Amino acid sequence: MTCDELRDHYELYALGIAEAPEAGEIRAHLDRNCPTCVPGVRSARELTTLIGAAAPAAEPPARLRKRVLAIAGGRRTSLWNWSPVWAAVAAGASIAAVVFNTRAQRASTELAQAAAELRQVQSESASQTRELARLNDAFSILNQPNVKQVVFGGGAPQPPRGRVFLDPKRGVLLVASNLPPAPAGKIYEMWVIPKAKGGKPMPAGLFQSAADGTALHVLPGPVDVAGTAAVAVTVEVAAGAQVPNLPPVFAAAL
């Protein structure tokens, strides 16, 4: 058995109550001067000694002492000093509590670590799945033969700039560059602006740009391309808004 497998049995071995095969394995490790088990068992012996020394003396219940004396013929003698016996019992109970508490803490820590690793794997898998779905939506829009393309920011010396692609059945795709990440607590929100007079801008999803200033955002699903006047982007609170702030960061007019 490995040292890691024997680690939880050091205290029991120090108490002399370790069971086979662990007791034999620890003894074999000690015989060959194992660099892990030798100091481990030494520490376990020191711990049990300290706990035993710290155990308070305890007197047995009076009724128990009377019963024992009655069985012995009612004779009281100084030989019946129960304090060391009860101290030993208390020490053993304390040691056992420490041993089992240590094991429980180790098991709890290991379970917590395993659960955290599992959540991390699940989170990464879910993130990869969402990213793949987003890219699939983007490519499906780009591959449409009649997709409408609008360029924005081409003549401006400062960011942002990019393209907007609209397909009646597939949705809207925004590809931008020179778009710095939104400030802390803020996020970018895309809007589809209708041509109809008095028409309200339609929220088209939240997104954040990458550290290099690039952004790719998709609004999947049918869109009224003919009835759309522009696609705009504003900076909103992290939860998004139902009405866009003005002025927009940019607007791609159709």
In the chain, CATH 2.60.40 sits at 148-253
Q: At what angle do helices 22-31 and 37-54 cross, to 10 degrees?
A: 120
What's the pLDDT score for residue 76? 46
Dihedrals φ, ψ of 110, to 5°?
A: -65, -40
Q: Residue range 221-240: average pLDDT?
A: 93
Could you tell me the CA-to-CA distances from 138 to 131, 144, 155, 181, 187 in Å, in that order? 11, 10, 25, 21, 21
Assess if CATH 2.60.40 describes domain 148-253: yes
The band of 44, judged by pLDDT with boundaries at 50, 70 and 90, is confident
* Token output for 56: 């308070």
Name the residue with higher pLDDT: 73 or 148: 148
The percent of residues above 90 in pLDDT, for the chain, comes to 30
CA-closest candidate to residue 182, choices 218, 210, 143, 162: 210
Q: Per the confidence metrics, is the pTM higher than 0.75?
A: no
Asked whether residue 79 carries a pLDDT value surpassing 50, the answer given is: no
Of 30-39, 69-78, 201-210, least confident by mean pLDDT is: 69-78
